[in-house]
Amino acid sequence: MLDVRNGADKLVCRIDKASKTIEIVQKGYKTTIRFLDNGQVLIKNVSMVA
């Protein structure tokens, strides 16, 4: 995965070009955005807090 950082060098998201996926982790939640070949977008939210 490729890390994307902002101007303050903080991690904003991670991108996987092969699977067309963006992963964002913020405030205890992981959001995964996946772009499908048919034009649809799948969005999945998972709580990281145990």
Q: Where are the domains of the chain?
A: 2-47
Confidence of residue 48 (pLDDT cuts 50, 70, 90): confident
CB neighbours of 16 closer than 8 A, spacing ≥ 6? Answer: 1, 2, 22, 23
Which pLDDT belongs to residue 47? 95
- Does 50 score more than 90 pLDDT? no
User: What's the pLDDT score for residue 14?
Assistant: 97
Cβ-contact 3, 14 below 8 angstroms = yes
Cβ atoms of 32 and 21 closer than 8 Å: yes
DSSP string covering 23-37: EEEETTEEEEEEE-T
For the stretch 5-47, pLDDT in tens is 999 999 999 999 999 999 999 999 999 999 999 999 999 999 9
